[in-house]
Amino acid sequence: MSDIILKGDKNGFSVIIDAKANYDSAFKELKELIMRQNVKSTTEDDDVIKFTIKTGNRLLNDDQKNSIRDFFDKFPQLELKDIQADVESKQKVAEILKENKTNVESGIVRSGQKLDYEGDLIFLGNLHRDAQICATGSVYVLGQVNGIVQAGYPDKTDAVVFGNLKDVDQLRIADVIEIVTDDNKDDFQAGKYAYIDDLHSISVDDLQNYKR
């Protein structure tokens, strides 16, 4: 039984490697298949044949991927577009979970302190003036904030800040900073949310208009 399946469409060929197959045997069969295809495309006038390697539920390590790339490099008329898998590495999964984590903070953040969070933050505590809370995701303020609130650090422009922010010193989303003063503090009340608009500045709107 073959360890690989070749499928073609208008974008080139997909080579599907059986996830349960012995990798060395599958790689040997892949090389034989590629060499046969190269025989069919031996002149400079022929179109480049594009291949995508699909490994399903098998993750290849870096050495295995490099071996496949090195083999394709031997044939100018053949192009390796991508090596794809239906699963992610443990490291990648951990990074995704970390980015989408929701933190809850209910303590007091005193002047001069800065607390950093990976993911979203629900803030139930008390943020003193000249203190800072900083999250890579969105921030939901349910406590008292007088210092600096940072969401979307360092460059997540789709992060938002919810809650009563009229007493905050500064509001930051990604790389945009809004100074809250007596002139605009009424805009940052409960029932509002702050976001980066199309002009890359911080705007405030009614929470009922928030749609994701």
The full length of the chain comes to 212
Point out which residues pair with 162 in neighbouring strands: 140, 193
154 preceded by a cis bond (ω within 30 of 0) = yes
Residue 157, token pair as written in the block = 């422009």
Q: How far apart, in whole angstroms, are the C-alpha atoms of residue 74 and residue 72?
A: 5
202-206 and 192-196 beta bridge pairing: antiparallel
Point out which residues pair with 13 in neighbouring strands: 8, 51
Place of tokens 């460059």: 155
Q: How far apart, in whole angstroms, are the C-alpha atoms of residue 175 and residue 200?
A: 9
Sign (positive/negative) of CA torsion 199, 203, 208, 212?
positive
Question: Can you give the pTM of this predicted structure?
Answer: 0.59
Looking at residue 97, its amino acid is L
Domains in the chain with CATH codes: 4-87 (3.30.750), 101-209 (2.160.20.70)
CB 16 within 8 A of CB 7: yes
pLDDT for res 104: 94
Task: Name residues of the chain where pLDDT drops below 70.
Answer: 1, 39-46, 89, 93-94, 96-97, 211-212
